[in-house]
Amino acid sequence: MMNNILTGIVLFSSFAMRTPNQIDLPPDYEISLGAQNKHFYINQQWEREVGINYIDQEAYITWEPSIFYFKPYYIDKTSKKINYAQLDLRFKHKSLSIGTTIRNNKDTSPLSCLISAGLKRNAAFNKIKVDYAFDYYYSTKGADLKGYFKLFLPLSNRASLYSVLDYNRIGSIEFYKVKTGFEFAL
């Protein structure tokens, strides 16, 4: 099991800088560092937005034996005031999954159960690789939606450029990120 988790680890990073909305403030920035493979993802970001510093963290582990999908997930996005831990338990068939999600959100309800469904695919066009995933979470309090689209351009057997669109709607909070970065496989 441990060999499977450590196989194919990819280290990634990105850097972005932009002019703040208020001229008298120092530039906004975002530095992102992380590691991932098909079984886990861990990412930490340091950013300054309109003069305020934030640290955002996200991590998950995925276990997918045959027709079952198990994913503990943690997110602490101080920049968006989102902090929760969740556990996805789903049945899957090919690229589709359906099941339940248990979420502990510190700011709203202490524990909620949601019905969840997802689609996860990858494709290749010549050298360019594409990964995309959509997750939908429904409860009596509303619906959440996550969409992820990633384009890879291999530079060598270990190095790639990538571009990501990551869209999230969690309750009434909506945020997305588009970024380009560099990955290196160990």
Q: According to the model, what pLDDT value does residue 108 have?
A: 59
**2-21 per-position pLDDT tens digit:** 555 566 788 888 888 988 87
* CA atoms of 54 and 49, how far apart (whole Å): 8
Q: Decide: 112 and 100 in contact? Cβ < 8 Å.
A: no
**Which is higher by pLDDT, 1 or 48?**
48
Domain ranges across the chain: 2-141
Q: Measuring CA to CA, how many Å separate 28 from each of 24, 57, 141?
A: 12, 18, 35
β-partners of residue 86 are: 73, 103
More confident: 175 or 98: 98
pLDDT value of residue 113: 79
Is the model's pLDDT at 105 over the cut of 80?
no
Report the DSSP pairing between strands 159-170 and 173-185: antiparallel
Closest CA to 36 of 25, 28, 44: 44
Average pLDDT over residues 135-154: 89
Q: What's the whole-number mean pLDDT along residues 18-40? A: 88
